[in-house]
A and B are shown apart, each in its own frame.
Chain A
Amino acid sequence: MKLKMNKWGLIPVLLLLAGFMPGSVSTARAGLLDDVDLHGFFDTRAGIRTTSDATQRQTSLLESRLQLDSLYQGDALTLQLRGDFIADDVEQDRSIDLEQGRGWFDLREANLLVSPTDWLDLKVGRQILTWGTGDLLFLNDLFPKDWQAFFIGRDVEYLKAPSDAVMASFFPEWGTIDVVYTPSFDADRYIRGERLSYYNPLLGRTAGRDAVARVDERNGWFSDDELSLRFSRNIGSFETALYGYLGYWKSPAGFDPGSARNTFPRLNVWGASLRGPLAEGIANLELSWYDSRDDRGGDDPFIPNSEQRLLLGYERDLGRDLTVGVQYYLEHLVDYSAYRNSLPAGMPERDENRHLFTLRLTKLLLNQNLTLSFFAYLSPSDRDFYLRPKASYKLTDNWRLSGGANFFGGSDDHTFFGQFENNSNVYAALRYSF
């Protein structure tokens, strides 16, 4: 059993506990505590696989979590602490890993925000970061995602994993510049086989707990660092942005034949986006260039090629409390012939262009207390899909009951969504917010 809390240690846990127990603090501090705001929720959820997978438990989800969220807002600074205490029956490893989000405690946010001048905000510490224009598709947002949480039916907010970073935002007259420095690489909380099965190209089949992915972690401080940049500006009703990223592939997309481990090869990303009103709806366009720095020629079979990515989206209202959104997404593999020529025999070949469509339908009913939503990913080129139906009902202002499903399918075992076919699941959840 390893206790892996190298980055932030136990300090935030203790701080959280101290902050959340006003009774334990002497009345002399009451003045300070008046400004502290304590909230959170208790959430319990369960899910089962709809198909059986010999390498996994039939139970896909069985957990309770208590989230405590405390905010201190002073004149000079804002302090935010948010963490989850978790009892997870499916996870085998109970030790805390704040990077992978494993164990009985997950620190979501622990940061300090200051505005030293009129034109600068600094946010330091553990924080959730998001940018870009896609709806559940990310081109220029290279901040860590938790795909496992997303696929097993946790609340959608858990798709965003926290970053341990410094964010500096500058506000000159002519736009906004955001610079995010992550001193030690924050990978996605990717699928590794422990509770969701994935396609293992070495075995040539889907694998789960029988072949958990072996990965060369990148966790050197200041050597395995990441830098994310954005320049954004509003032009009338249109939002424009330019993006840059210097870091690594967020999931272990590389492979080191020597150690037989997956790796995080170096990656730079450059992109742009535009979002604004169009014909009674909102349209968005986003482009990005994935520069796979360790395989610029595209002829290394163990490192992903560079890619060009494109996203077009449109969302509008279709009647009362009904919203529809559609997106088209393209992943174009650069140096495709080099890729094909270097592909080892027997390895499944990916297409030069991966086309993906998404559809979102959201309907609010019963005075907006009932939300019915449906999100679908459909790829005609990969011939696979991922469907996310969900219903959520607010019983009272505090209690919410929800249920949903994650259905994966495809013609092949090795495609992005097709590989997760045996992970299809249904789930139900009850949450009390306070």
Chain B
Amino acid sequence: MKRYGILFLLLLWPALALAAPSADEIVARANKAAYYAGKDGQADVKMTIYDAHGGTRQREFSILRLNVAGEDQKFYVYFKKPSDVRKMAFLVWKHVGGDDDRWLWLPALNLKKRIAPGDKRTSFVGSDFFYEDVSGRGLEEDVHQLVKETDDQWLIKNTPKDPDSVEFSWYQVWIDKATSLPVKAEYFDKEGKLYRRVSAEKIETIQGHPTVVEAVAEDLLAGTRTVNRFSKVKYDIGLKERLFTERFLRRPPREVTR
């Protein structure tokens, strides 16, 4: 009977996994859905930054992403607005578990500037989004804990393994069961106060991939807010790895300039 019991468990194992995945499995799935859809992808981004006094600033850029070996990725960001950063390009070779390689292309100087790795939890182009929101946070950097489950969402609490490396003491993420996409993240400071929120406002299914097409980041202390709107999203366009090199910083590819 014991033998059959084990067999029974083994047969049931996939079903069990589906029914009650661990917190680590949930975040791994969410990470895949949010940052790794398809073999590659591209999108145009319109970013609006609202300051606390009602003023706004606009950014427009195109992003190309390619999944390479392992969990590593390459990104190409081409700026279109505002005018003073037009034609600048930002190249990232993301290394999971290590420092990313980052370069900034300054067209007026024809200069490929290498950027020191630095803190990933700093503002991306002056917005309320952080570099880490754009390229993803390493899963191994936090301890994940499933704190709540509803019919359509999981709530995961994430506590940093190295508390001194980040500005939050913990954050919680709601993950949609149907799409595996993280739909809301709330960050709490050392006093346990909520001070930052990132949320997915609109999700569309594009080429079979549920995709966030509108995202908002809010700094609740400063009273600032940034809205990202994604358009022309495409997956599996067959991007070549050579696109993510100096050659195509000097000569931006049509995929981003169109």
Contact = CB atoms under 8 A, between A and B. Distances in A.
Interface of A: 39-41, 73, 78, 113, 115, 121, 127-130, 156-157, 159-160, 169, 171, 176, 232, 234, 237, 239, 275, 277, 280-282, 284, 315-317, 319-321, 323, 367-369, 394, 396-398, 400, 431, 433-434
Contacts of B110: 127-130, 160
Contacts of A275: 114
7 contacts: A127-B110, A160-B108, A169-B247, A171-B247, A321-B122, A323-B116, A400-B84
B117 A367 contact: no
Contacts, number: 98
Interface string B83-99: 11010000001010001
A176 B247 contact: yes
A367 B49 contact: yes
Given A280-B99, A317-B117, A368-B125, A39 B109 contact: no
Given A320-B119, A368-B125, A176 B84 contact: no
A39 B86 contact: yes
Given A277-B117, A284-B114, A367-B126, 9 more contacts: A121-B250, A129-B110, A130-B110, A157-B109, A159-B109, A160-B110, A237-B101, A321-B123, A431-B84
A51 to B, nearest CB: 30
Contact of B81 (A129, A317, A397): A397
A290 B106 CA distance: 28
Nearest to B226: A367
Contacts of B95: 237
A403 to B, nearest CB: 17
B82 interface: yes
Interface of B: 49, 51, 55, 57-58, 81-84, 86, 93, 95, 99, 101, 106, 108-111, 114-119, 122-123, 125-127, 224, 242, 245-247, 250-251, 254, 257
Contacts of A239: 114
Given A127-B110, A277-B117, A317-B118, A368 B84 contact: no
Contact of A281 (B58, B108, B116): B116
A323 B86 contact: no
B59 to A, nearest CB: 8
A397 B101 contact: no
A76 to B, nearest CB: 12
A253 to B, nearest CB: 25
Contacts of A319: 119
A369 B242 CA distance: 34
Contacts of B116: 280-282, 315-317, 323
Pairs A-B, 8 closest by C-beta atoms: A317-B118, A368-B126, A433-B83, A397-B82, A157-B108, A128-B110, A433-B84, A130-B110
Contacts of A280: 99, 116-117
B239 to A, nearest CB: 15
Contact of B118 (A323, A368, A397): A323
A40 B87 CA distance: 12
Contact of A130 (B109, B127, B257): B109
A284 B113 CA distance: 12
Given A315-B116, A433-B84, A73 B257 contact: yes
Contacts of B84: 41, 394, 397, 400, 431, 433
Nearest to A135: B113
B251 A113 contact: yes
Contacts of A434: 83
A348 B117 CA distance: 45
Contacts of B247: 121, 169, 171, 176
Contacts of B55: 396
A293 B35 CA distance: 56
